Amino acid sequence: MSDGRKAVVVGGGIGGLAAAIGLRLAGWSVTVLEREKALGEVGSGLSLAPNALEALDALGVGERVRSVTHPSGATANLRTPDGRYLMRYRPGKDTPVAALHRADLHEVLQSALPPEVVRLDAEVVGVNGAEVHYKGGSLAADLIVGADGVHSALRRQGWPEAPEPPFRHCTVWRGVTEPGSTGPIEGSVTIGRGCYFLIHPLRGDRLYWALGARAEEPSRPSPSEHAVVRERTEDWHDPIPKVLVATRPDHVLRHDIHDLDPLPAYVKGRVALLGDAAHAMAPDLGQGACQAIEDAVELAAAVGGAGDLDAALAGYNARRLPRTHKIQREARRKCDITMSTAGMPYALTTFLLRLTPQSLAQRSARRVWAWDAPEITS
Ligand SMILES: Cc1cc2nc3c(=O)[nH]c(=O)nc-3n(C[C@H](O)[C@H](O)[C@H](O)COP(=O)(O)OP(=O)(O)OC[C@H]3O[C@@H](n4cnc5c(N)ncnc54)[C@H](O)[C@@H]3O)c2cc1C
């Protein structure tokens, strides 16, 4: 069991909480430092692919997460703004993803940890050797996990040569409909020129939607983000207008997309990066959170037992770099194509999608999802 080794996880997002659960299973004593005063994200959804569910199983919370998800065939159900189908989801044949409200995922992860593990209102300002300094104190640790998101302070300090996360020329608006306000609606992705509209059904008669659109510059707040989305999609097919009417205007979130150029290493000394801090990626493959949860399992599996910690961290680094780099690059490529407003690439994309057999599209998704969870032992 525990050999008394202590880990400090910086950031209480999906990756940080998953890492805390995994490290505790591996016998570590863990403290999570989170800068916000409350944990959890509200107001938007997420999809988890089979690889993330397998990782959550390895953390012992897979069944509980499944119980708050709804199957969605959105990514296999592709349409154009006038409503025509480019590709159709085949129930029973195609693998759905598991869609859920982010708040539900946070709740499951948080409830798998004793309350004293997470310290809120604890913004980390830097690391000095084995000491983590935060507003309010400092903690000594054998292992420091940087799970502090795309604009990670730990990455900036430890990887000063890494460029700032580039803007992907994409702004995303997201919302969740009021419960019971639309009736059942299937998941879908509607692809326009330089934009898309995603719908995932959620548990509790709700829908999660997202509009992604080309932006030359990072966006500025608008008096009504809801009005911006309605205007941009006003002549798009049903049920998009209905979905927007069913969303509270003050609950629409806006987010600029930044990703990272692949880092040459995720480990320096006793600091290990994971999730968006390590490999923030465009959301186009729906893999950012999935990869953060995989990282958590791989890190916990690597550092379990009483073996040499430096060798264990080198093992984590070696296992995660090739897989996450590949997915990061693929997500960037897909985002760049989707955000192109030029007529020719759009015509070509829709033409090719119409011709692509669903089985081929499924095969390429399965290649991304293919991952075997290592066992976590203490
Ligand atoms: C529009 C959009 C849609 C997406 N859809 C999907 C999807 O469907 N499926 C999927 O798998 N992924 C999706 N993603 C990606 C996914 O949201 C992220 O990859 C995932 O949330 C990353 O988790 P994380 O824990 O690494 O980082 P974060 O969620 O960013 O968490 C970082 C945490 O660290 C805290 N923090 C930051 N700095 C400090 C500090 N100095 N001290 C203490 N705490 C700090 C923050 O407050 C935060 O709580 C999407 C992303 C976007 C933008």
The minimum-distance atom of ligand 1 relative to the CA of 39 is 49
- Amino acid identity of residue 297, one-letter, is V
Q: How many CB atoms lie within 10 A of CB 167?
A: 16
Which residue reads 């690391």 in tokens? 127
Average pLDDT over residues 185-205: 97
| Of the candidates 369, 372, 370, the residue with the CA atom closest to the CA atom of residue 97 | 369
pLDDT digits (tens, 9 = 90+) for 209-238: 999 999 999 999 999 999 999 999 999 999
Residues in CB range of 246: below 8 A, 6 or more apart? 177, 178, 181, 182, 207
- State percent of the chain over pLDDT 70: 99
Question: How far is it, in rounded angstroms, from Cα 303 to Cα 313?
Answer: 7
Confidence of residue 310 (pLDDT cuts 50, 70, 90): very high
Ligand 1, CB cutoff 6 Å, lining residues: 10-16, 33-36, 46-47, 123-124, 147-149, 153, 172, 174, 210, 255, 257, 275-277, 283, 286-290, 292
Average pLDDT over residues 345-369: 92
CA-nearest residue for atom 17, ligand 1, is 289
Dist. CA 13 → ligand 1 center (Å): 6
Which residue reads 């800068």 in tokens? 35
pLDDT digits (tens, 9 = 90+) for 11-66: 999 999 999 999 999 999 999 999 999 887 667 999 999 999 999 999 999 999 99
Confidence of residue 312 (pLDDT cuts 50, 70, 90): very high
Which residue reads 């999802």 in tokens? 369
Structure tokens, 264: 């040459």
Question: How far is it, in rounded angstroms, from Cα 169 to Cα 217?
Answer: 7
- Quote the Cα angle for 105-111-112, to 5°: 95
Question: What was the pLDDT predicted at 1?
Answer: 39
Q: Provide the residue ranges of all domains of the chain, joining segments of one domain with +.
A: 6-69+102-166+259-338+361-369
pLDDT digits (tens, 9 = 90+) for 54-74: 999 999 999 999 999 999 999
Q: What is the CATH number of domain 6-69+102-166+259-338+361-369?
A: 3.50.50.60
Structure tokens, 278: 């390590």
CA-nearest residue for atom 4, ligand 1, is 283
Q: How many CB atoms lie within 10 A of CB 205?
A: 15
Dist. CA 276 → ligand 1 center (Å): 6
Q: Is the bond leading into 239 cis (omega within 30 degrees of zero)?
A: yes
Looking at every residue in the chain, the average pLDDT score rounds to 96
Structure tokens, 50: 């089979």
Structure tokens, 363: 């095969």
Q: What is the dihedral of CA 101, 22, 260, 257, to 10 degrees?
A: 10
CA-nearest residue for atom 29, ligand 1, is 13
CA-nearest residue for atom 19, ligand 1, is 288
- 29: which strand partners? 6
Question: What was the pLDDT predicted at 2?
Answer: 44
Specify the range with the lowest mean pLDDT, choosing from 92-101, 327-336, 341-350. 341-350
Instruction: Write a three-state SS string for the chain.
Output: CCCCCEEEEECCCHHHHHHHHHHHHCCCEEEEECCCCCCCCCCCEEEECHHHHHHHHHCCCHHHHHCCCEEECHHHCEECCCCCEEECCCCCCCCCEEEEEHHHHHHHHHHCCCHHHEECCCCEEEEECCEEEECCEEEECCEEEECCCCCCHHHHHHCCCCCCCCEEEEEEEEEECCCCCCCCCCCEEEEECCEEEEEEEECCCEEEEEEEEECCCCCCCCCCHHHHHHHHCCCCCCCHHHHHHCCCHHHCEEEEEECCCCCCCCEECCEEECCHHHHCCCHHHCCHHHHHHHHHHHHHHHHCCCCCHHHHHHHHHHHHHHHHHHHHHHHHHHHHHHCCCCHHHHHHHHHHHHHCCHHHHHHHHHHHHCCCCCCCCC
Question: How far is it, in rounded angstroms, from Cα 147 to Cα 16?
Answer: 5
